[in-house]
Amino acid sequence: MADAGTSSAHSIPAVVRLGEMPLPTFGKTRALASAVAAAPVRAATQPKAVRNIVLVHGAFSDGSTWQDIIPLLQCRGYNVTAVQNSLTSLADDVAATRRVLLRQEGSVLLVGHSWAGAVVTEAGNAENVKGLVYLSALVPDAGESVSEMLQKQNVSMGALAPDHEGFVWLDDPKTYTHVMADDVPASRIAVLAATQQPISAKVFSEPITTAAWSTKPSWYLVTERDNALPTHVQQWLAQHIGATTTAINSGHMSMISHPEAVADLIARAAQQL
């Protein structure tokens, strides 16, 4: 959701809205300028700590939804990989993420959007994962499924019904716009709807075994214009897991409508690990 220090689990996280960072007062400007001038220059292509970032997409999408984020992180020197989830089961998506994690050389920041919040919560237990970033994501607890998590917040799974094979689709551009991306241009939504992957309805009833957020630092981006996952649920989840929280005036697909802000959040998280 900007970082203000990582909160411990089950504590109330700090919330910073993008665009509201304080500026130095005039009296401190000269001292600040001197300090900056004296500080060593860090090249934009030299990440501070974690250099590997793995991005995991959610439902009704694929790895191409990160196409605006990837170059913004690569130009800062990060090695970025997007997972291609099958969306057929929690176990399948966790396995796909773990395969990518095994290919990384060194520590990893794991990022999950929407449904992938559940995926990275499980896959994030890998030893090389040092932190988790949740983007308007579903974050179950250990032993809990997404359906059970939403029931606790009195949130329904919506009116989308599965087909005869048990898959839920979001391939109508008008519906996609309303649910996922009412702040994304129509031309982009036409492509998103055409390339969306359906998700198996059964994934939402599959429980998490071990919640990585309980032992690793986390960040959460709350989207304040979200029609897919209500903002108040996102806020509750961020507080529940003790995440450093940032809020942004965006719909559900913030990586498309606000790529610079999302990339900045991911980079700041990586620099704190």
Q: Quote the distance between the C-alpha of residue 141 and its chain's center.
A: 17
Range with lowest mean pLDDT among 2-16, 56-70, 80-94, 168-182: 2-16
Compute the distance between CA of residue 250 and CA of residue 64 in angstroms, rounded to an integer: 19
Instruction: Kindly state the tokens that stand for 231.
Output: 């903002």
Q: Which residues contact 216 (CB under 8 A, 6 or more apart)?
A: 124, 129, 130, 131, 132
Domain count, the chain: 1
Q: Which domain holds residue 115?
A: 45-271
* Backbone torsions φ then ψ of 6, nearest 5 degrees: -80, 130
In the chain the first and final C-alpha atoms are separated, in Å, by 17
Helix or strand or coil: residue 238?
helix
Residue 40 lies inside a defined structural domain of this protein: no
Residue 82 lies inside a defined structural domain of this protein: yes
Residue 176 lies inside a defined structural domain of this protein: yes
Residue 22 lies inside a defined structural domain of this protein: no
Instruction: Kindly state the tokens that stand for 131.
Output: 């932190």
pTM: 0.83
Residue 130 lies inside a defined structural domain of this protein: yes
The β-bridge relationship of strands 199-200 and 167-168 is antiparallel
236-242: average pLDDT: 98
Contact by Cβ (8 Å): 16, 2 = yes
Compute the distance between CA of residue 80 and CA of residue 144 in angstroms, rounded to an integer: 30
Helix or strand or coil: residue 246?
strand
Compute the distance between CA of residue 232 and CA of residue 234 in angstroms, rounded to an integer: 5
Contact by Cβ (8 Å): 111, 135 = yes
Residue 4 lies inside a defined structural domain of this protein: no
Residue 5 lies inside a defined structural domain of this protein: no
Compute the distance between CA of residue 97 and CA of residue 108 in angstroms, rounded to an integer: 12
Compute the distance between CA of residue 103 and CA of residue 117 in angstroms, rounded to an integer: 21
Q: How many other CB atoms are found less than 10 A from the CB of residue 72?
A: 17
**What digits encode the pLDDT tens for the residues 156-204?**
876 789 999 999 999 999 999 999 999 999 999 999 999 999 999 999 9
**What digits encode the pLDDT tens for the residues 98-134?**
999 999 999 999 999 999 999 999 999 999 999 999 9
Compute the distance between CA of residue 253 and CA of residue 181 in angstroms, rounded to an integer: 6
**What digits encode the pLDDT tens for the residues 9-49?**
333 344 555 544 433 333 333 333 333 333 333 344 455 57
User: What's the CATH number where 122 sits?
Assistant: 3.40.50.1820
Residue 13 lies inside a defined structural domain of this protein: no
Compute the distance between CA of residue 232 and CA of residue 230 in angstroms, rounded to an integer: 6
Q: Quote the distance between the C-alpha of residue 190 and its chain's center.
A: 23
